[in-house]
A and B are shown apart, each in its own frame.
Chain A
Amino acid sequence: MSQPVRPEDKIENGERRAFLAAGAAVAGTAIAPGVLLYGMAQAKPADQPVSAKVRWGMLIDTTKCATGCTECVTACNTENSLSGKTGPQDSQWIRKVELKNLQTGARHSLPMLCQHCEHPPCVDVCPTGASFRRADGIVLVDRHICIGCRYCMMACPYKARSLVHENLTDQNPEVPRGKGCVESCTFCVQKVDRGENTTACVEACNAAGHKAMLFGDLNDPESEIAKTVKTYASTEVRADLNLNTGVRYQGI
């Protein structure tokens, strides 16, 4: 697993400003995402700024993922206060997909979630900039400016997003959700920002003894995930779209 950001790794303010300026320039006239990014950076504890030096990612080994096991799904629902219901109008941030190769008959089981793309189609199409990608690679929805148009749901190649179809109760204060807004996996950003640097699904998978999921900083050469993807073959789902997803898979 990757280490929490050490004080000496902190990016100085100047560098952060330079990054933001570059970001704003790239965004051209779209002020909103830049402002948002700045807001996100400010909202974090002063000793742990979001940095583009980090790229949070996940590696899923389908050979270790057990058919029928839904520990990761349950843990996600608990952590993020999702109902766990699976009707067509219910939110699902992570789901287990069962695969069968039509030619060979080979079977695989894997969790599917927001792939936290480097070039997320949901962020491209969002009219207000509510869908955005943090400097550290986590793709989020700003609940304050999402208008519920669902264009991001049309655009997501992974069907990773859900619209909140009804009023919610008993929410986790750390995980804001709301009727009429779109939501998806946040890589447990509340845990990441606390410095835990893990996600509920990964913890649950480890606790169940499968160890099929690995979370960490892809940019840190010393992290387990970076070492593993460097050593073994892994792939992106719908790799042809060239989105450079933060979630990668082994064994399919």
Chain B
Amino acid sequence: MKIAFREIEGKSQGYWGLFAVLAILAALGVGSALYMEHHGHIVTGMDNQIVWGLPHVFAVFLIVAASGALNVASIATVFGKTLYKPLNRLSGLLAIALLAGGLMVLVLDLGRADRLIVAMTYYNFKSIFAWNVILYNGFFAIVIAYLWTMMDQKGGRWYKPVGLLAFVWRLILTTGTGSIFGFLVAREAYDAALLAPMFIVFSFNYGLAVFLLVLMGFYAGTGRALGDKMVLRLKNLLGVFIAASLYFVFVYHITNLYFTKHHGLEAFILMNGGIHTLMFWVGQVVLGYLLPMAILFHPGLGNSRAWIALAALLAILGGLAQMYVTIIGGQAYPIDLFPGFEVSSSFYDGVVHPYTPSALELMLGLGGVAVALLMVAFAVKVLRFLPERLDDETVAALHGAK
């Protein structure tokens, strides 16, 4: 069964409208970064207590989603599910685009963004951050090679080995992302090996949610056939990944709750942390896990495209809420320098640190999302990323071919 790939026409008002909106958002993001660069971080809501803010929420989400977006291709290449092979190009493209968007935010938020060359030339190999610089660059190179093996006949014989390498690399990459927090002994919310596998499971969830939305969006927008067989399989998979995310979050908190020394932190996140408690229960758990699972596994709603799209969108919002709780919540809870003592100082020891993100930070974060989507929208117009048709007969034939 030969699948025909074709560029999208990209001449409709809808396409250019989308393009224009994304371009404006991207420009606002870059403009915000320039403004921050000029004035310093004093114009942001970040300070010496909340050192990583909203930009990092977006950046880490995008980076985690990037590796997860590659999963569909990995399932086709590494696990031999030929059913998904028509989607592997989009999968690789999304992975590159999301990573680029995330890294853009991360880099533009640096105190000295002008010193990017230093980050590329000076390495402290004990730093997981330094490792991540290599992992990110390697990911770009490997996934571009992977796309080449998919799209150029000359690369065909490398398809399997490069696909396997990309799969292993993305697992290591997300291990590295989770370990940015896992390796922090200083703060109670981090300092846990569980964060690495938990981030991998989050990446399955967020990456597939983004993939599903983009896939359904382009097929609906271009009027190309996308059958239920493909969509329903993907949405079931998303449901399983969401359930797995919930499981990891449960284990993380139940372990912390077992240790008396972590009761303060857990009370903060689960009960009396204000915005963080709200973000956790309403954002992460209800909107991000329970509601989308209920939709996806519902016998009626789970078959509706609109509801599936809503569930995917909720999973993404839940992911952003999770990053907010993990990154901001983890810093907002004060470091316990002197266990058993009540402390106070001019440097805000012993108090929960408030954080009000500025519009600049939001614009920078959204700018990263926009750049990622802009790259995808442009790429599918100029190169053959999307199959012409994915109706049920085509999919069934592929499934039979397996």
Contact = CB atoms under 8 A, between A and B. Distances in A.
Interface of A: 27-30, 32-33, 73, 86-92, 95-103, 108, 112, 121, 123-130, 145-151, 153-159, 161-167, 179-182, 237-238, 241, 252
Contacts of B331: 154
Contacts of B129: 125-127, 149, 151
Interface string B11-52: 000000000000000000000000000011110000111011
B111 A237 contact: no
B192 to A, nearest CB: 15
Contacts of A101: 340-342
A137 B9 CA distance: 64
Interface string B39-77: 111100001110110000000000000000000000000
A149 B39 CA distance: 17
A149 B345 contact: no
A129 B124 contact: yes
15 contacts: A30-B123, A30-B126, A86-B346, A95-B347, A97-B343, A100-B342, A112-B349, A124-B127, A127-B119, A127-B127, A128-B123, A146-B115, A159-B337, A164-B40, A165-B40
B252 interface: no
Contacts of A129: 122-124
Interface in B303-342: 331, 335, 337-338, 340-342
Please name the 4 residue pairs, one residue from A and one from B, whose CB atoms are nearest each other, closest first: A148-B111, A180-B111, A127-B129, A88-B47
A30 B185 contact: no
B337 A154 contact: no
Contacts of B42: 89, 165-166
Nearest to A157: B186
Contacts of A158: 335, 337
A147 B119 contact: yes
A128 B130 contact: yes
B224 interface: no
A208 to B, nearest CB: 18
B40 to A, nearest CB: 4
Nearest to B348: A88
Contacts of B122: 32, 127-130, 145
Given A92-B346, A149-B111, A153-B51, A126 B338 contact: no
Given A30-B125, A97-B349, A151-B127, A128 B341 contact: no
Choose among B49, B125, B331 the residue with the greatest number of A CB atoms under 10 Å from its CB.
B125
B137 to A, nearest CB: 13
B40 A92 contact: no
A153 B115 CA distance: 19
Contacts of B291: none
Contacts of B119: 127-128, 147, 149
Contacts of A149: 110-111, 119, 129
A147 B115 contact: yes
B118 interface: yes
